[in-house]
Structure 1
Amino acid sequence: MQNDPFRENLNDFEFHVLREGGTERPYTGEYWNNKEPGTYFCKACGAKLFSSETKFDSRCGWPSFFKPAENSNVTYVNDSSMGMTRIEVQCGSCGSHLGHVFEGEGFDTPTDLRYCINSVSMTFEPASDAPGTVGN
């Protein structure tokens, strides 16, 4: 992946997670406990991924959401690594690894889905910083 177009804009760890399918340790990412209103974007390409309105505490140590901001901005890939079968979530725009989605775990959400996303895969724009809004 030396010729990856995103290489020069990501540090080594960001590149490992986003472009090589790595993961961050639970409870270590910048956004796992973020409760601020706003929007999460792909760190590699800037695609809009998740809204804080769909974020919830799933007690897994990664930021968790019950649905993407726009369905077309995420894609799904079967992942049978690590001795289990999971559904990998990738950015629909650039193909970067974001995390995994789990279904039917009994969370009290409208979709019964849990998107566990690496903080390092995203940037966060607080609602007060959104274009056209006025801060307090």
Structure 2
Amino acid sequence: MSENATYEKPIPVIDPGTKPFWDATREHRLSIPRCRSCGKHHFYPRELCPHCHSADLEWTDVSGKGEIYSYTIARKPAGPVFAADVPYVIAMIALDEGPRMLTNIVTADVEDVRIGDRVTVHFDDVTPEITLPKFTLDKA
């Protein structure tokens, strides 16, 4: 993104609990919390493991690979700033490491998307501070 361009869509608010996630995406890495007590990853970031309620968490880089668990095609924009994007795919991705993540699928043809399709993370640098993780289809 050029320094003079402005990003008009909503951007996430970075707080202390999510800062490691956003720092990693800015470096084009997908990093999510993992519980040292039970060994399970989780997403969205929170202070306690949703599996065992331990506070012994660490941030770990994950593969950025997964499959489409569910999706919808937005054919009407979620506001004026999204008008140029329609149609677009909003999807729930089941990461290979376990957690599910809400995101967008970047594709030239929204009709190509199917539940169960394999996907890989794609990083969209929208501002100097914010990089959004989106996903692309792994179709051959």
TM-score normalised by the chain length of structure 1: 0.30
More contact order relative to length (CA 8 Å, sep ≥ 6): 1
Question: Per residue, is there more helix in 1 or in 2?
Answer: 1
Question: Per residue, is there more strand in 1 or in 2?
Answer: 2
TM-score normalised by the chain length of structure 2: 0.29
Choose 1 or 2 for highest CA Rg. 2
